[in-house]
Chain A
Amino acid sequence: MEVEKNILEHVNSERERFFSRHEKAPEKVVAQKRYQVAERIVELAVKREKEFFRTFTDKIDQVVCHRFLGPVILLGVIYLFYELSIVQGYKITAYTWPLLAVFRDFIASVLPSPGFVFDPLLRTITLGVVDGIVAVLNYIPIFIILFALIAIMEDSGYMARVAFLLDRVFRYYGLHGQSALPMILSGVFVGGCAIPGVMACRTIKDERAKLATILICPLMNCLAKIPLYILLVGMFFSAYKGIIMFFISTITIIIALAVSKILSLTLLRKTETAPFVLEMPVYHLPTVQGVLRRCLERTWLFVKKIITIVVVVVLIVYLLMTFPGIGKDRRVYYEKQTNHQIQAFFDKIGKDNPYVKLLEGSKLTEFAIYRDDYKKARMGAGSKDAKKAVNEKFSERNGEFFKIVKRGKYKLDGKMVKDKYALKVNKAYKKLNRERNRIKRDIKEETIIGSIMGRIGRSLEPVTKYAGFNWRINIGLISAFAAKENSVATLGSIYQSPPGEEKKALGDRMKEKEKDWTPLHALAIILFMTMYPPCIPTLLMVKLESGSTKWALFATFYPIVLGSAIAVLVFTGGNLLGLSGMQAMVAFYVFALIVTVALGLIKSKEVSEEFT
């Protein structure tokens, strides 16, 4: 120990002496000497046969990095990125989705079969998890395109120019030029995905900017946030659709920049920043092999890691939204209701109907499954031939059931017959099925409301009322936690249509039930949604890319706090000032803009650079 201490003391005193004698830090001299020696070696070993200008690259850069043209070209490239990966990628998912559906159906067929109204627990839970995985796998075509495009941008050398162009703005907010791409991918233009966005953060070398970017990516507008926007905008702002969408997409960037600045001034203050070196490499033509390799590698890494963790997390969320489940007496109540409907069904078709025997007892459930399967198969069959094949398959599976689903019209000994008994059963069952679905929905709704998540939603109402959210909205928003697509689906089941009015749109149903709502309510919900915490796959990505659970937890909670604060500010503040929805929107926009610009003017300490 003594020796080690001596060495360090010796070093310190030598450094001090050096400093006082030469008025320079030794490390500066070290760097200087290295450059001198490098220069000398190049002089000795390299002969310059002709003067070289980086003509080709320089010519491109004159345009691409031009003060005015540069940003225009960048916008074009960003648009292309968005168009190719998000828009075209989604079109591809239309082709890959059936494959995933086959996988899901296979799992479903292996599991215990569904009941008439109550499904076996093993089935619901497993399918819940499978749906979660399938939902993530569905994004893979988009990822492959994204990663290929990123690889092309990186290999060609354009990425460095993007960083160069945007760094001028971003550096005022603790971000880096390279933060641009993750933000674009996450959905600056309304409609992205934070998962590849957060993943793309790994190209950022500066640790502080990287963390800041990871944390603000989820604030962008991912595709899954859109349905709720559309629903609410359609309900309350139908005359100003364009303006509202512009507001939504720009307010998120404004807030994200402010958040990033605040984070880098506070929590990330101590995080290291790398000395900023931006090299403009010569443009290369990317090789197909290199691009493919990188893109497939990244995709595979993503699939491997996400899948393993997603299973666990989806399971937990699913359980939180299911348990404790409905009570025993409620179960009995629903069973009674079901039996009542079944009885009505049998009364209707009459005792002398030959099909009665075929549908008695457990056979009714069998028929219910048969009919559901048939409807689904018919829906999936596009062409005439496919429809014929479906008919043949189901006629083989159960000839008698087939007669019913065909409304009594079928071939018998080569002749078309009209079976009025089968038609009667078909009609009566249609009604029964409607009741069955209603009961199923009721059970589902009651389960959600009574579940741990649902209880949280209700217990939050005293607080959330300041943001204008009632417990129904709370549950809808909470259910979005697993995946934001859920918000509209859950609202759909909460604001379900009364029997006979199924065709009414969700927006109209909500308006009917929430008569006292104003555009201010909608604005508060929209703003909360823009700041909504990342979905679970994104959180896992945040954990992977930031390397710590701590940041993933932070990424979950700060948007909740921020979103609530903004929603309360807009709703309560707007009410107090007597503002209309549009007025409140403009007022908030101006306020956010001023705050962000002001924050940008605060100087943050920069680390000294080694390269001088």
Chain B
Amino acid sequence: MKEIIVAVAGQPNSGKSTIFNMLTGARQHVANYPGVTVEKRTGKYSYKGNTVTLVDLPGTYSLTSYSQEERIARDFLLHEKPAVVLDIVDAANLERNLYLTFQLGEMGIPLVVALNMMDVAETRGLKIDTFKLSELLRATVVATVGKKGKGGNELKEAILNTYKGGHFRMGYGDACESCGACPGISREKGSFRVDYGEKLEPILKPLEKMLSEDPKISVRYPVRWLAIKLIENDSEAHRLIEVL
């Protein structure tokens, strides 16, 4: 069986490490990312005959190149090309956490969103429609409570399913509802895109086209992401093109 590499991303205080521990248990290994002092935690679990390796990315609010940790997280997604990204989202702070989710989505890797700390959100009177959210984000959304170990199996199922190209939504306690349950939306129709509006889209679209026509760039990097980064004047993105 092939090993499935899954990157675990999330903002600080989203409960990333709790989910990580819930999924992998004691099968963990801690090292540093090469050349830097940022901890790199990896862990493994087996699910339905598949070995899944989780790589914990540094907790960041965004994926710019401002800080070392953001760069590490981004470079891993860009160069190591994990099969799935597991995005841990604090359900009680959904709006702020989505800021990172969008950027992860733009990198073109299939996304599974763990809507963590659902219990906290519920006690605060927030009722989150995971089905709707899944539909809007065009990604599998799984409700979890990492501290209480809720949603672990559902996450494993979602990761495997997403890896295989499927799409469904689930919450803890819910039965698995496979793809047919989310009518009209599937990743084949394209992943979620932030609409950057009439000011930016007319610039982004031709740039995307330019990039996708370049044989070297289009195979290496997600063009939508690169177009946005270039327009944002991101120094690392400029370098990616310069070194080609």
A-to-B contact residues, CB < 8 Å? 3-4, 7-8, 10-11, 14-15, 18, 22, 25-27, 29-30, 33-35, 37-39, 41-42, 44-52, 202, 205-207, 272, 274-275, 277, 279, 281-282, 287, 289-290, 293, 297, 301, 544-547, 607, 610-611
A267–chain B nearest beta-carbon distance, Å: 18
**A4 and B196 contacting across the interface, CB-CB below 8 Å:** no
Count residues on chain B whose CB falls below 8 Å from chain A CBs.
60
Task: List, in ascending order, chain B residues with CB within 8 A of A46's CB.
Answer: 94, 126-129
Contact A38-B102, Cβ < 8 Å, known A29-B196, A46-B94, A49-B127: yes
Q: List 24 A-B contacts (CB under 8 A).
A: A4-B242, A4-B244, A7-B207, A10-B207, A11-B230, A18-B200, A18-B203, A27-B232, A29-B200, A30-B196, A34-B194, A37-B194, A38-B95, A38-B98, A39-B95, A45-B132, A46-B129, A47-B127, A48-B125, A48-B127, A207-B68, A290-B18, A547-B35, A610-B66
In angstroms, Cα B194 to Cα A39, docked, is 12
Task: List, in ascending order, chain B residues with CB within 8 A of A49's CB.
Answer: 125-127
**A37 and B207 contacting across the interface, CB-CB below 8 Å:** no
In angstroms, Cα B91 to Cα A47, docked, is 12
Closest residue of chain B to A284 (Cβ to Cβ) is B147
Partner of B210, one of A10, A26, A52, A282: A10
Task: List, in ascending order, chain A residues with CB within 8 A of B241's CB.
Answer: 4, 7-8
Closest residue of chain B to A54 (Cβ to Cβ) is B124
Interface membership of B64, Cβ < 8 A:
yes
Interface membership of B80, Cβ < 8 A:
no
Top 4 A-B pairs, shortest CB-CB distance: A50-B125, A52-B124, A38-B98, A274-B67
Interface membership of B45, Cβ < 8 A:
no
Q: A37, A49, A275, A289 — which one has the most chain B CB atoms within 10 A of its CB?
A: A37
A396–chain B nearest beta-carbon distance, Å: 47
In angstroms, Cα B128 to Cα A550, docked, is 51
In angstroms, Cα B194 to Cα A37, docked, is 7
A327–chain B nearest beta-carbon distance, Å: 47
Interface membership of B195, Cβ < 8 A:
yes
Interface membership of B181, Cβ < 8 A:
no
**A42 and B95 contacting across the interface, CB-CB below 8 Å:** yes
In angstroms, Cα B244 to Cα A77, docked, is 53
In angstroms, Cα B127 to Cα A29, docked, is 30
Task: List, in ascending order, chain B residues with CB within 8 A of A18's CB.
Answer: 199-200, 203, 231
**A45 and B102 contacting across the interface, CB-CB below 8 Å:** no
Task: List, in ascending order, chain B residues with CB within 8 A of A282's CB.
Answer: 92, 120
Task: List, in ascending order, chain B residues with CB within 8 A of A34's CB.
Answer: 98-99, 102-103, 194
Interface membership of B188, Cβ < 8 A:
no
B40–chain A nearest beta-carbon distance, Å: 12
A291–chain B nearest beta-carbon distance, Å: 12
In angstroms, Cα B196 to Cα A546, docked, is 39
Contact A47-B95, Cβ < 8 Å, known A15-B231, A18-B199, A30-B196: no
In angstroms, Cα B233 to Cα A22, docked, is 16
In angstroms, Cα B203 to Cα A27, docked, is 13
Q: Is the interface of A mostly helix, strand, loop or mixed?
A: helix
Task: List, in ascending order, chain A residues with CB within 8 A of B67's CB.
Answer: 205-207, 272, 274
Task: List, in ascending order, chain B residues with CB within 8 A of A275's CB.
Answer: 66
Closest residue of chain A to B70 (Cβ to Cβ) is A274
Task: List, in ascending order, chain A residues with CB within 8 A of B147's CB.
Answer: 287
B67–chain A nearest beta-carbon distance, Å: 4
Partner of A547, one of B37, B61, B62, B120: B37
Contact A41-B133, Cβ < 8 Å, known A30-B232, A48-B125: yes
A209–chain B nearest beta-carbon distance, Å: 11
**B18 and A33 contacting across the interface, CB-CB below 8 Å:** no
**B231 and A35 contacting across the interface, CB-CB below 8 Å:** no
Task: List, in ascending order, chain B residues with CB within 8 A of A37's CB.
Answer: 98, 102, 194-195
In angstroms, Cα B232 to Cα A14, docked, is 11
Interface membership of B219, Cβ < 8 A:
no
**A8 and B129 contacting across the interface, CB-CB below 8 Å:** no
0/1 per residue, B53-87, Cβ < 8 Å to A? 00000000110101111000000000000000000
Task: List, in ascending order, chain B residues with CB within 8 A of A293's CB.
Answer: 21
In angstroms, Cα B203 to Cα A166, docked, is 45
0/1 per residue, B152-193, Cβ < 8 Å to A? 000000000000000000000000000000000000000000
In angstroms, Cα B147 to Cα A297, docked, is 20
Interface membership of B30, Cβ < 8 A:
yes
A533–chain B nearest beta-carbon distance, Å: 21
Task: List, in ascending order, chain B residues with CB within 8 A of A290's CB.
Answer: 17-18, 21
**A45 and B126 contacting across the interface, CB-CB below 8 Å:** no
**B214 and A7 contacting across the interface, CB-CB below 8 Å:** yes
Task: List, in ascending order, chain A residues with CB within 8 A of B126's CB.
Answer: 46-49, 52
Interface membership of B36, Cβ < 8 A:
yes
Interface membership of B137, Cβ < 8 A:
yes
**B95 and A30 contacting across the interface, CB-CB below 8 Å:** no
B10–chain A nearest beta-carbon distance, Å: 13
In angstroms, Cα B241 to Cα A11, docked, is 12
Interface membership of B49, Cβ < 8 A:
no
**B98 and A41 contacting across the interface, CB-CB below 8 Å:** yes
Q: A50, A51, A52, A545 — which one has the most chain B CB atoms within 10 A of its CB?
A: A52
A49–chain B nearest beta-carbon distance, Å: 4
Interface membership of B12, Cβ < 8 A:
yes
In angstroms, Cα B127 to Cα A301, docked, is 42
Closest residue of chain B to A18 (Cβ to Cβ) is B203
Given contacts A30-B228, A34-B102, A289-B21, 15 further A-B contacts (CB under 8 A): A4-B242, A7-B230, A8-B242, A30-B231, A33-B200, A38-B98, A47-B126, A47-B128, A48-B126, A207-B67, A275-B66, A281-B13, A293-B21, A610-B62, A611-B61
Interface membership of B238, Cβ < 8 A:
yes
Task: List, in ascending order, chain B residues with CB within 8 A of A546's CB.
Answer: 37
**A29 and B102 contacting across the interface, CB-CB below 8 Å:** no
0/1 per residue, B76-120, Cβ < 8 Å to A? 000000000000000010111011001100000000000000001
**B207 and A14 contacting across the interface, CB-CB below 8 Å:** yes
**B194 and A33 contacting across the interface, CB-CB below 8 Å:** yes
In angstroms, Cα B64 to Cα A611, docked, is 12
In angstroms, Cα B128 to Cα A38, docked, is 14
0/1 per residue, B1-45, Cβ < 8 Å to A? 000000000001100011001000000001000011111000000
Closest residue of chain B to A611 (Cβ to Cβ) is B61
In angstroms, Cα B99 to Cα A306, docked, is 40
Task: List, in ascending order, chain A residues with CB within 8 A of B120's CB.
Answer: 282
Task: List, in ascending order, chain B residues with CB within 8 A of A45's CB.
Answer: 94, 128-130, 132-133, 136
Task: List, in ascending order, chain A residues with CB within 8 A of B35's CB.
Answer: 547
**B200 and A301 contacting across the interface, CB-CB below 8 Å:** no
